Amino acid sequence: VTSPVAFDILPLKLHPFSQSTPTGLDCVGWKRRVSAPVITDGALDKTALTDDVGSEEDLYEDFRSSNHRYGHPGGGGEQLAINELISDGSVVYAEALWDHVTMDDQELGFKAGDVIEVMDATNKEWWWGRILDSEGWFPASFVRLRVNQDEPMEDYPLKVEGGKDDDSRRFGMGQTTKDQMRTNVINEIISTERDYIKHLKDICEGYIKQCRKRADMFTEEQLKTIFGNIEDIYRCQKKFVKALEKKFNKDHPHLSEVGSCFLEYQTEFQIYSEYCNNHPNACMELSRLTKVNKYVYFFEACRLLQKMIDISLDGFLLTPVQKICKYPLQLAELLKYTNPQHRDFKDVEAALNAMKNVARLINERKRRLENIDKIAQWQSSIEDWEGEDVLVRSSELIYSGELAKISHPQAKSQQRMFFLFDHQLVCCKKDLLRRDILYYKSRINMDDMEILDVEDGKDKDFNISVKNAFKLHCRDTEEVHLFCAKKPEQKQRWLKAFENERRQVQLDQETGFSITEVQKKQAMLNASKQHHAGKPKAVTRPYYDFLMRQKHPTLPTTLPQQQVFMLAEPKRKPSNFWQNISRLTPFRK
């Protein structure tokens, strides 16, 4: 089982790393087979493919007869090279990709962007490092080795108020040194893009193409689950790398103007959202398939025929998730070594913001998809549900609370629980004896409604005195719904929530956010099974299991509470889903 260590961002200064893998992928902690030919220029030796490997059928039989273990981890020359540098007295720095929050005093906590001195990389999962006076274990997959290892720590940008770099430090180094630093970053961007394209090609041609030949083993639905839209990503990245190469100045790399390329492709990069959202499903499907030996042998035969390094398929499929989150880090480093007078400065600055927005959008969509399971669970807890499922039209709980609903013709007031989702407002009634039970009563289509603020006093439509009231007015039927809150501040929260609901609907339309029918059905099916089981659904973390398996006994045993594709810079506000409904007793059954 493999660790999702950053594949494509190891430093150019550390040449032993980049030369030790036949595919050009720079990866820490992977063992390459001894029988694999060493390729120094990144090209594949086609003759070796036939002579050493043979046909897919031969491999299949060899692996089946030898009981070969699929995707076993190993130390790898790359990892040894890091430790050799450390042993020789060299200082190796890594930059945090994501926050590592820990309560264990043996672990090293840090924020995204922190610089860590790597002191021991013997274990492929957990490294030992130091920040100032603090030392401890940290997950190797949460960091990237710095591009410019020769850059002294004192030249690393300080943070000042407002989160901006100290310009006096940022531009204090000599221009020649700074140009070399920018050259290093540009070279890294170009080289890692080329390696990434090779990596995507290997997946598409080495795995997907072979899988499609075996209709007896894979359905199209299974292939869609395992590989997602990685073929679309491959097509997009091929165009992107061509655009980068056109802007690359081979004679003077520091003069290259690559910022405009990121700006041009920022919209197309949103296709990563679908892939990132599907990736946990891919891990689970692969985990299920690889319990059967014939799939284990088949995947390993595909890898060897394509001459790919010794990483299991789930490890290969993680790289697009990592890649989209690394663009802001690469651009931030590029901006650091770009003078304001440089022709590329404004484009790089804009590109950095654009790619941060792309990462934010992907994270937000991921959060929304995680919420649909919670919504399905909520609906399954409601008694006497009628009509279509909430997920048919909605995917986000905006707000919830208790209101008095006043109905015609007697102007009768009824206390009800209301749940405002995007597109609809659901009304429920509490059980008289068991207040932890809710009964479905009705719903209102918010797409047809306008919100009217009602002043305290006598209402003309209902001919009664009201306080803290507002109305929902249907534009088509002229139907009016009157609601009263207990306190003025509660009323204001509801009015604000209705504004947020319309804003959310508009944003979804602009960004094209939607949930597939398969995802909706699966969420409702899971909720139904849990409801019949009569116990709360355990929140499983197959992603964490996939990322951090096979710990050394002396290393930390708890899992870092950070999903691998969450970009911690800038910070996103936590989901308010559970805050909104934490007061509701159905979840305490």
C-beta of residue 156 within 8 angstroms of C-beta of residue 115:
yes
Q: Would you list the DSSP string of 123-143?
A: SSSEEEEEETTEEEEEEGGGE
C-beta of residue 153 within 8 angstroms of C-beta of residue 93:
yes
CATH number listed for the domain at residues 179-370: 1.20.900.10
Sign of CA dihedral 323, 325, 331, 337: negative
CATH number listed for the domain at residues 396-512: 2.30.29.30
The model carries a pTM of: 0.55
d(CA 365, CA 274): 9
Taking alpha carbons only, the member of 226, 302, 306, 299 closest to residue 69 is: 299
Per-residue pLDDT of the chain (589 residues; tens, 9 = 90+): 333 333 333 332 322 222 222 222 233 223 333 233 333 333 333 333 333 444 445 545 544 444 443 333 333 445 666 777 787 778 888 888 777 776 666 889 888 778 899 998 888 788 999 998 889 999 887 888 876 665 555 444 433 334 444 443 444 455 678 888 899 999 999 999 999 999 999 999 999 999 999 999 999 999 999 999 999 999 999 999 999 999 999 999 999 999 999 999 998 998 998 898 888 889 889 999 999 999 999 999 999 999 998 888 988 998 898 888 889 989 999 999 999 999 999 999 999 999 998 888 888 877 888 789 899 999 999 999 999 999 999 999 999 999 999 987 677 889 999 999 999 999 999 988 887 799 999 999 999 999 999 999 998 888 899 999 999 999 888 889 999 999 999 999 999 999 999 999 998 888 778 888 878 888 898 888 876 655 443 333 344 344 344 333 344 444 443 433 343 333 334 444 444 444 444 444 3
What is the CB-side half-sphere exposure of residue 495 using CA atoms within 13 A?
A: 16
Token pair in block for residue 136: 């401890």
The reported pLDDT for the residue numbered 106 is 83
d(CA 382, CA 528): 12
C-beta of residue 469 within 8 angstroms of C-beta of residue 486:
no
**Phi and psi of 403, rounded to 5°?**
-140, 160
Boundaries of every domain in the chain: 75-145, 179-370, 396-512
C-beta of residue 565 within 8 angstroms of C-beta of residue 546:
no
Taking alpha carbons only, the member of 415, 411, 412 closest to residue 463 is: 411
The reported pLDDT for the residue numbered 148 is 62
The reported pLDDT for the residue numbered 219 is 94
C-beta of residue 329 within 8 angstroms of C-beta of residue 95:
yes
Token pair in block for residue 204: 């598409």
Is 465 buried (19+), middle (13-18) or exposed (0-12) by CB count in 10 A?
A: exposed
**Secondary structure class of 527 (helix, strand, coil):** helix
Q: Does domain 75-145 have CATH number 2.30.30.40?
A: yes
